[in-house]
Amino acid sequence: MADVQLRVLTNSLRMEPVVAAAAVAEAEAVAAAVAEAEAELAPDVLPVGGERARRLADLSAKLYPGGLVRVGSVGGGKGCVLPAAYVPHVEAVRGMAVRPDDVWVVAPPKCGTTWMQELVWLLVNNLDFDAAKQQPLVDRFPNLEYSLLLSEAEEEREPRAAGGFERAQAQAAPRLLKSHLPNDLLPRQLWTAAPKIIYVAREAKDVAVSYFHHDRLLNGYSGDQDFHFECFMEDLLIYTPFWDHVLEFWEMRKQKPNILFVLFEDMKKDLPATIRKVAKFLGREVSEAQVVGLSDHLDFHSMRDNPAVNLVPQLEAERGPLAPEQRFLRRGEVGDGRRVMAPTTAARLDTWSRQHLAGSDFPWRP
């Protein structure tokens, strides 16, 4: 593809056929004007190219018709990596109506989003543990954009995902919404309606290891982990660049009191303290007995064995029985990256993190 920037032109008017040529011409003129106006605000879209990107695609069983593209301005204009299938939906998401009583959980993948979602759902729903064990989390607390990433063939394999964007918006209040998108691709009204937003971040080496296992399980990645780590650092995986995503919200939280920034490591170190912190942010009172009950329910081993959150029923319905190591919730440990990686690889990721964090007050813990 040419190395020129393409503009996303979305939300063009859909007109019923009319007989009168004048009406047709007028409709076309209006549509062109709308498209031109929106093009001024629409994110740039660039193909993800290069030999390493082609090799990554060859090593992944999950196919993305049209390939991967970089959308938006995150990363100093580099853009967020997404399937090309998402491009027609960019403006639908950015133009989505946001309600002040929404609760959002936003994070890059593999940062503890599922863990935080379960906590938030329980706090908002009066600690209804029975309902939490019976209804899948993906239905209770949907991923806003997941269905929009899928091709038609993938939607046929995952019929539960079809129409997910519409269902997420149609939730009864208060709506609970999850997204992995960076700030510039999220709904614009997030910053005018000002709903509660909980952002979760995690140490980069641990994210890289978890992402490798995620892609093996869900995307059929068959390459080695070191190559996958390189792709993570080179911003070739979906939803990368990682540090730009994190640091933008880290800085925004200083001016926006509707953002609560939570570290995965703090959740692991003192889950009861995190429960109290999130409850206070959401305006929910919890007794010490309730904190104990939440801590037991949210214990990693309990979460891993809970079919309402571990995706095992959905995955086994698609591909048959899973081996013990094929877990969506795998280890949930702090320091897994350093334990798994070769020392030279861990050092490279640390150097990469230091470069991105230069001048930031982000509390990095290598």
Quote the CA–CA distance of 123 and 284 in Å, as a whole number: 7
Q: How many CB atoms lie within 10 A of CB 354?
A: 11
Q: Cβ contacts of residue 149 below 8 Å, gap of 6+?
A: 82, 83, 85, 86, 238
Question: Confidence class of residue 328 from pLDDT cuts 50, 70 and 90?
Answer: very low
More confident site: 77 or 288 = 288
Per residue in 176-197, pLDDT tens?
999 999 999 999 999 999 999 9
Q: How many CB atoms lie within 10 A of CB 249?
A: 20
Q: Measured on CA atoms in the order 90, 91, 97, 98, is the torsion positive or negative?
A: positive
| Cα-based angle 86, 78, 44 (whole degrees, multiple of 5) | 50
In one-letter notation, the amino acid at residue 31 is: A
Quote the CA–CA distance of 333 and 213 in Å, as a whole number: 14
Q: Cβ contacts of residue 17 below 8 Å, gap of 6+?
A: none
The domains found in the chain, sorted by start residue, are: 97-357 (3.40.50.300)
User: Is the bond into 195 cis (omega within 30 degrees of 0)?
Assistant: no
Q: Out of 180, 213, 214, 245, pick the active-site residue.
A: 180
Q: 47 in helix, strand or coil? A: strand
Per residue in 56-95, pLDDT tens?
998 987 767 778 999 999 988 889 999 999 999 999 999 9
3-state secondary structure 171-206: CCCCCEEEECCCHHHCCCCHHHHCCEEEEEECCHHH
Residue 13 has pLDDT above 70, yes or no: no
Q: Name the DSSP letter for residue 104.
A: E
Question: Confidence class of residue 318 from pLDDT cuts 50, 70 and 90?
Answer: low
Residue 9 has pLDDT above 80, yes or no: no
- Residue pair 328/308 in contact (Cβ under 8 Å)? The answer is no
**Best CA proximity match to 81, nearest among 47, 40, 39:** 47
Give the pLDDT score at 261: 99
Q: Does the active-site annotation cover 180? A: yes
Q: Phi then psi for 175, rounded to 5 degrees?
A: -75, 140
Say which residue the tokens 């046929």 belong to: 156
Q: Cβ contacts of residue 172 below 8 Å, gap of 6+?
A: none
Run of H or E residues at 80: strand 80-83
Q: Supply the pTM of this predicted model.
A: 0.84
Q: Cβ contacts of residue 162 below 8 Å, gap of 6+?
A: 147, 155
Question: Confidence class of residue 15 from pLDDT cuts 50, 70 and 90?
Answer: very low
Residue 236 has pLDDT above 50, yes or no: yes
Give the pLDDT score at 6: 34
Quote the CA–CA distance of 23 and 85 in Å, as a whole number: 32
